[in-house]
Structure 1
Amino acid sequence: MIHTMKNRKSILLSLAVFSFSLITAQQKVMQTDFSKGTWEQVGKSLQRKWVSGSESTFALWKMDKGAHVPPHQHPNEQVTYITKGSVKVLMNNKEYVVKAGGVLIIPAGITHEFFCLEDGTEDLDFFTPVRKDWTDGTASYLQQQGNPLEVVAQFNDVRPGNVAVSREGRVFATIHPLASPKEQLVEIINGQPVPFPSAGLQKNGGKSADNKFDTPLGITVDKTNRLWMIDMGLELGKTRLWCIDLKKNKVTEKFELPADIAPKGSFVQDVAIDEKNGWAYLADIANPGIIALNLKTKKARRFSGHEALQSEDADMIIDGKVIDFGGKPSRVGINPITLSDDRETVFFGSMNGTSWYQVPAKLFRENADHTTISDAIKKFGEKPISDGAATDKYGNHYITNLGGHSISKLNSQGQLSEFVKDPKLKWPDNVAVSEDGYLYISVNQLDTTTAFSGEKDNGKPPYFIYRIKL
């Protein structure tokens, strides 16, 4: 029913208080700012942001004319308040037109359908109890968009970290170091992880050593078919870059970054390789910066201090919850980093960031000063809050969308769209583009680990590597 102005004011006051802070049954306060961060694309011309407490869910919708939420019902009472524009709602064989300032209460269990009547319409919704069909991904408008996901590998005991694919289609993955796994680098053979390039290089629960992998994460395969892996050295205390010849399945080079460039405590977790000019570009999130390593001279430099490298003041919201990191709302800087196909442009963005940046790679090769590099950094386009990205030969960027359970596509003209959305993408950590036109995605529920939740790891195996046709 449509409420009177007096009742609307009462509802608005409740919504304002609710949007400021949500108190769980454990009296944990959650606060976020909906004016920051990216929107989740739910359907054509339909976007949302949402949070949940222990007893209720609050959502902000943005939509344009023609946006449609198909007939559905849920065991939640829904209070809808239109702040801009107008919608038409079909319910109980009746039509309700709700304009700006109007409130509609939809009883639990009643089938209803929404049509947007104006561009720029905004809708605030309050649900009680919690929308569990949103948190578990079973709501009809959360179902898969795009081509189907194919399972490449299933992990029952460990989480995959990053994924890389060779020219011949061989698939490799690091094992995420947050769980202190026995193996650090594997090849996927017949759907199963096999230690690569040998069992002897894996730490296997032992002590850190120079001749073994320590805590690697970022991997990539260059155009000469070499596998590169950045080893953060969180236990060993030094950062190393490993190069493995995929023809010989043998480590051919190991670069150790000097302590003044990557001191103990660094978290260098992503890498992009320029095999044409002989350079590596690495992203450090601990002291947000780009490390440029000359693979011929083995000399490295660090570029830090620029605003584009830092986290934005934007919350990471997954399944209605603000995600913490280290006991407070996540604010993670530069990650990921990629290169253009011609190796002339470095692309990067922060995890807790909504902008994707570009800078000429030759400035690092020519040892340009800090000011020159800073002045050359330009925003390329928008991005979601993300953990991984890959840039293809056509200039498209595929960026993981943590809150949207999806992969976003930022095309060569800087236009952002949703490439695939699927509730199975529970923390899509990293992506890789293969020569035969597939996008590989590692999925590991990282937000359920102790580092992010502050609680006992409550991940629910299995974890996956998927692929999808581009």
Structure 2
Amino acid sequence: MKQNVMLSALALSVSLISQTGIAATTATPATALPANAPAEKTIGQLEQVFAFHDAMPTGVTVTETGRIFVNFPHWGDDVPFTVGEIRDGKVVAYPGAAINKEDPKDPAKGLISVQSVVADGQGRVWLLDTAAPNFAAPKAGGAKLMAVDLASNKVVKTLVFPANVILPSTYVNDMRFDFRAGKEGTVYVTDSSVSGPGAIIVMDIASGKATRRLSGAKSTSADPDFKPVVEGQAALVTKGQDGKPKTMAVASDGIALSADGKTLYFSALSSRHLFAVPTEMLRDASVSEAQLNAAVKDLGEKGASDGLESDANGAVYAGDYEHNGIRKRLADGSWQTIVHDPRVLWPDTLSVGPDGYLYFIANQLQRQAGFHDGKDLREKPYSLLRVKIDAAPAPTR
């Protein structure tokens, strides 16, 4: 009797499902997503200036006459020369092949591993030598700045960083010049250490004297809670000393000088915040570190950057490597995205040219073998790109 009741109930259920159209059926077959399905929109009209099929570049600068220089640090690629000029459709050693080789007898003479090149707007291009291949401790007396005269293509000045500003963990990264301050001008350099304190190094060009400012400060340090995501995956992941994965923490990296020279903008690579500090206080030895720290302004989030730049109109540009883009901070403090494109794989080093374009390197830094258990995921070529901004470079004098 009980069994008959159960069978009747089951039959009634099947009947109701059939009548309501909820009968169990096979799923509707799926098809591949059409290529023309709605997708995120790109921003900015990109132009490729040069394609690199060999070593990975990190830096670019465009001079006031339109000459383009790039650099290749010794990070594991075959680097025949660490500084080059793009000329006649190829990259040639600059200022020559001989100086692009380390001098074992005198670390101050030959170029060891250049991380940044910057045209100063005064007829010279400056080469920033870390003397620290593969982020090793800098070779004593090797971390330096070289100025090359663009008319003669000769080195006209070499400034070796004094020992008081170069720690065993120091990795000098980027620089900006101001010839309105000091007899021959002042240069500001970021220390983007991956194992020690970050800092802003302030050097007087005439004397070569330098000081470390904001060393180990929150503003120049990697954000301990920063976990970057690029291409949908955790990025900058390396192996710690215990063999467990960890995110590489990179200190103060990008740097930009306001058009009037009164404000220095900077940010750690392992952070999304932009900071600003008065340059007059940076240069003043009587200003204590406590006073300087109190004067630093946190301008909020801008995205994660591996490069900053400024223009003559008071705007600041920042790479946004998590979102394949470039962002622009207007003089009123508001932000806008000027580039967003999946081909902008790790925007590195920005430079405003005299032609109203913003030039930048896209080098796939996050795909390096060190972040993927020894497997190099980079796809050549790397690119030098540009986007029209209709602005002039920030003046240095």
TM-score when normalising by structure 1: 0.68
Larger Rg: 2
AA aligned opposite 1:296: A
Instruction: Tell me if the contact between 2:102 and 2:112 (Cα under 8 Å) persists in the aligned partners.
Output: no
What is the rounded CA distance, in whole Å, between the counterparts of 2:230 and 2:208 in structure 1?
40
Residues 357-387 of structure 1 show CA distances to partners (whole Å, capped at 9, x for unaligned) of: 1111011222222112111101234211110
What is the rounded CA distance, in whole Å, between the counterparts of 2:157 and 2:372 in structure 1?
37
Instruction: Tell me if the contact between 1:161 and 1:173 (Cα under 8 Å) persists in the aligned partners.
Output: yes
2:82 alignment counterpart: 184
2:3 alignment counterpart: none
What is the rounded CA distance, in whole Å, between the counterparts of 1:263 and 1:302 in structure 2?
10
The yes-or-no answer on 1:297 pairing with 2:297 is no
C-alpha deviation, 1:108, in angstroms: 4.9
Secondary structure in structure 1 of the residue aligned to 2:75? helix
What's the % identity of the aligned pairs?
A: 29
The yes-or-no answer on 1:355 pairing with 2:253 is no
1:195 alignment counterpart: 93
AA aligned opposite 1:157: D
The yes-or-no answer on 1:285 pairing with 2:192 is yes
What is the rounded CA distance, in whole Å, between the counterparts of 2:37 and 2:306 in structure 1?
25
AA aligned opposite 2:299: F
What is the rounded CA distance, in whole Å, between the counterparts of 1:196 and 1:140 in structure 2?
47
2:64 alignment counterpart: 167
1:261 alignment counterpart: 165
AA aligned opposite 2:178: D
Instruction: Tell me if the contact between 1:182 and 1:205 (Cα under 8 Å) persists in the aligned partners.
Output: no
C-alpha deviation, 1:205, in angstroms: 12
What is the rounded CA distance, in whole Å, between the counterparts of 1:377 and 1:107 in structure 2?
59
C-alpha deviation, 1:440, in angstroms: 0.4
Alignment length, in residue pairs?
Answer: 341
The two structures, once aligned, show a CA RMSD in angstroms of: 2.5
* Structure 1 residue corresponding to 2:123, chosen from 225, 230, 255: 225
The yes-or-no answer on 1:270 pairing with 2:188 is no
Instruction: Tell me if the contact between 1:408 and 1:416 (Cα under 8 Å) persists in the aligned partners.
Output: yes
The yes-or-no answer on 1:466 pairing with 2:376 is no
C-alpha deviation, 1:143, in angstroms: 4.7
1:242 alignment counterpart: 146
Secondary structure in structure 1 of the residue aligned to 2:58? strand
What is the rounded CA distance, in whole Å, between the counterparts of 1:158 and 1:258 in structure 2?
30
Instruction: Tell me if the contact between 2:128 and 2:173 (Cα under 8 Å) persists in the aligned partners.
Output: yes
- Return closer, same or farther for 1:107/1:329 CA change in 2, 3 Å cut-off: farther
Secondary structure in structure 1 of the residue aligned to 2:290? helix
2:262 alignment counterpart: 344
Secondary structure in structure 2 of the residue aligned to 1:177? coil
* Structure 2 residue corresponding to 1:370, chosen from 263, 285, 289: 289
What is the rounded CA distance, in whole Å, between the counterparts of 2:338 and 2:111 in structure 1?
34
C-alpha deviation, 1:179, in angstroms: 2.6
1:40 alignment counterpart: none
1:307 alignment counterpart: 218
Instruction: Tell me if the contact between 1:230 and 1:242 (Cα under 8 Å) persists in the aligned partners.
Output: yes
* Structure 2 residue corresponding to 1:334, chosen from 229, 239, 252: 252
1:437 alignment counterpart: 356
Instruction: Tell me if the contact between 1:176 and 1:217 (Cα under 8 Å) persists in the aligned partners.
Output: yes
AA aligned opposite 1:388: G
AA aligned opposite 1:179: G
Kindly report which structure 2 residues correspond to 1:409-448, keeping only aligned pairs within 5 A, or say none: 409-448=328-367
C-alpha deviation, 1:111, in angstroms: 7.2
Residues 323-379 of structure 1 show CA distances to partners (whole Å, capped at 9, x for unaligned) of: 135421132221111111121111101112121111110112222221121111012
AA aligned opposite 1:434: G
TM-score when normalising by structure 2: 0.80
1:386 alignment counterpart: 305
- Return closer, same or farther for 1:111/1:443 CA change in 2, 3 Å cut-off: closer
C-alpha deviation, 1:168, in angstroms: 0.8
- Return closer, same or farther for 1:206/1:458 CA change in 2, 3 Å cut-off: farther
Secondary structure in structure 2 of the residue aligned to 1:263? coil
Secondary structure in structure 1 of the residue aligned to 2:81? coil
- Return closer, same or farther for 1:296/1:108 CA change in 2, 3 Å cut-off: farther
Secondary structure in structure 1 of the residue aligned to 2:304? coil
AA aligned opposite 1:269: N
Secondary structure in structure 2 of the residue aligned to 1:178? coil
- Return closer, same or farther for 1:433/1:139 CA change in 2, 3 Å cut-off: farther
Greater Cα shift, 257-266 or 316-325: 257-266
Secondary structure in structure 1 of the residue aligned to 2:298? strand
Instruction: Tell me if the contact between 2:102 and 2:111 (Cα under 8 Å) persists in the aligned partners.
Output: no
2:51 alignment counterpart: 154
Secondary structure in structure 2 of the residue aligned to 1:264? coil
What is the rounded CA distance, in whole Å, between the counterparts of 1:448 and 1:209 in structure 2?
31
What is the rounded CA distance, in whole Å, between the counterparts of 1:325 and 1:110 in structure 2?
33
AA aligned opposite 2:251: G
Structure 1 portions without partners, runs of 5+? 1-105, 113-132
AA aligned opposite 1:201: I
Greater fraction of residues in strand: 1
Ranked by relative contact order (alpha carbons within 8 Å, sequence separation 6 or more), the top structure is 2
AA aligned opposite 1:311: A
Secondary structure in structure 2 of the residue aligned to 1:144? coil
AA aligned opposite 2:271: G
Instruction: Tell me if the contact between 1:154 and 1:191 (Cα under 8 Å) persists in the aligned partners.
Output: no
Instruction: Tell me if the contact between 2:130 and 2:143 (Cα under 8 Å) persists in the aligned partners.
Output: yes
AA aligned opposite 1:222: D
- Return closer, same or farther for 1:319/1:359 CA change in 2, 3 Å cut-off: same
AA aligned opposite 2:260: D
C-alpha deviation, 1:305, in angstroms: 2.5
